[in-house]
Chain A
Amino acid sequence: QLQLQESGPGLVKPSETLSLTCAVSGDSVSSSSYYWGWIRQPPGKGLEWIASVYYSGRTYYNPSLESRVSISVDTSKNQFSLKLSSVAAADTAVYFCAVFPAVGTPVFDSWGLGTQVTVSS
């Protein structure tokens, strides 16, 4: 069974770049069976899909964030990562990494526990 664990700084200054990592266990990020992704949840608000990546490196981004976001896979460490540049207070949220199957229905069926990121000086 897949297990995902997010990590990264809990506090980021405005205008800086947020970097998060999701460690994967139970399978390989090189597997063609999955898409890997990030979703965030601002305090007291709903869910927002940020980006997804396939093992091949093919990436998909939320159009509203595309100019600031980058997602990638690191096969050597069996993890995938998110970078969000020029952050502002509105980027304060719990960030989840999640996965969905490459074949079948593209719904997120495994999630990490989430990591709180606060943007503040």
Chain B
Amino acid sequence: EIVMTQSPATLSVSPGERATLSCRASQSVSINLAWYQQKPGQAPRVLIYGASTRATGIPARFSGSGSGTEFTLTISSLQSEDFAIYYCQQYTNWPPGYTFGQGTKLEIK
């Protein structure tokens, strides 16, 4: 099983600043990596797929980069609505399955 490890567990950033979240895979997943955002009491929504492609309707301040085992989600200028939990997910071995990272909580500093 491919294990996805996210860091840090919690990130405190001020509105308007840049946030950088990391995700590491236990083996190469190429660019088969997605990022999701989850707000309290809501289902996750996909932000990025293919490591760097924004999903429909996602603002340009969200960007993804990386390949192989190291990935980054960058939010260029944090808005109040961006404070949430972010998960990475690999899908390189679909089928048969996927694995998610444990999440990074982005909180207001």
What is the interface of chain A, defined by CB distance below 8 A to chain B?
45-49, 60-63, 96, 98, 105-109, 111-114
Contact = CB atoms under 8 A, between A and B. Distances in A.
B43 A111 contact: yes
Given A46-B87, A49-B98, A60-B97, A107 B44 contact: no
Interface of B: 1, 34, 36, 42-46, 49-50, 55, 87, 89, 91, 94-103
A109 B44 contact: no
B100 A47 contact: yes
A119 to B, nearest CB: 21
Nearest to B6: A46
B91 A46 contact: no
Contacts of B45: 111
Contact of B46 (A48, A109, A113): A109
Nearest to B35: A107
A106 B91 contact: yes
Contact of A62 (B50, B97, B103): B97
B96 A113 contact: no
Contacts of A114: 43
Nearest to A113: B43
Contact of B44 (A47, A48, A106): A47
